[in-house]
Amino acid sequence: MSILKIARAGHPVLKTPAKKVENPLDPAVSSLVRDMIETMQDAPGIGLAAPQVHVDKRVVVFYVPQGRTGELGQDGREEEDGPRDLTVLINPVIEPLTDEKVEGIEGCLSLPELSGLVPRYTRIRYKAVGLDGEPINVTASGFHARVVQHECDHLDGVLYPQRMEDLSTLGYAGVSDRMKLYVDEDEGKE
């Protein structure tokens, strides 16, 4: 296992659509995933896409920690997913299940120290293949849906500022109270 170097915004690998994994059972894929998980945990982050470690493959790892849900507020809480264990997605595809989007604060390991308000679909379905080659077909809401949208954007060469509607909310964590709150969560970077 190794901790891999994380590409920063501006690097071509983060702007280029990643290639489909032809054989999810290839040992090179499980080796990549192990290194991605170690790199993500070391950072620390809650999600990582292969292009962020200079690999142009459609592979994502993420989890949803306790305390990072509740972004839909009181009204949406009942239908919002809770914490999720570490998940590996190979060749993921997202389908929005609603037109509704909600803004939430995001950070990214490829844009260190920055965060901003990003609108994301509140409910999605994602399909992928797992490390075992078995199909994954999941309906996600709230923060779970946000993380998956953020990570899958990396596979298409899109960084979260490109999704922002108000760039004035982009800033260094710790400068405003809201960003400070975010940083105190400690593990908010994707």
Cβ proximity to Ni ion, 71 vs 190, nearer residue: 190
How many residues bind to Ni ion according to rule CB under 5 A? Answer: 2
Q: CA quadruple 20, 26, 30, 32: dihedral positive or negative?
A: negative
Tell me: does residue 190 bind Ni ion (CB under 5 A).
yes
Structural contact between residues 87 and 61, judged by C-beta atoms closer than 8 angstroms: yes
Residue 18, token pair as written in the block = 């990643």
Tell me: does residue 155 bind Ni ion (CB under 5 A).
no
Least Å distance, CB 11 to Ni ion, is 13
76: left (phi over 0), alpha (psi -120 to 50) or beta: alpha
Query: What does the alpha-carbon distance between residue 45 and residue 29 come to, in Å, rounded to a whole number?
Result: 20
CB-based closest residue to Ni ion: 108
* Residue in the structure block whose two tokens are 């593990």: 187
Choose, from 71, 80, 106, 151, the residue flagged as catalytic: 151
User: How far apart, in Å, do the first and last CA atoms of the chain sit?
Assistant: 20
Query: What does the alpha-carbon distance between residue 49 and residue 53 come to, in Å, rounded to a whole number?
Result: 7
Least Å distance, CB 48 to Ni ion, is 8
User: Which listed range, 65-73, 102-110, 122-130, 133-141, lies at the site for Ni ion (CB under 5 A)?
Assistant: 102-110
Residue 102, token pair as written in the block = 């909600």
Tell me: does residue 71 bind Ni ion (CB under 5 A).
no
Cβ proximity to Ni ion, 80 vs 151, nearer residue: 151
User: Which listed range, 9-17, 71-79, 94-102, 105-113, lies at the site for Ni ion (CB under 5 A)?
Assistant: 105-113
Residues 107-136 that bind Ni ion (CB under 5 A): 108
Q: Is 95 a catalytic residue?
A: no
Active site residues: 151
Give the binding site for Ni ion (CB under 5 A).
Answer: 108, 190
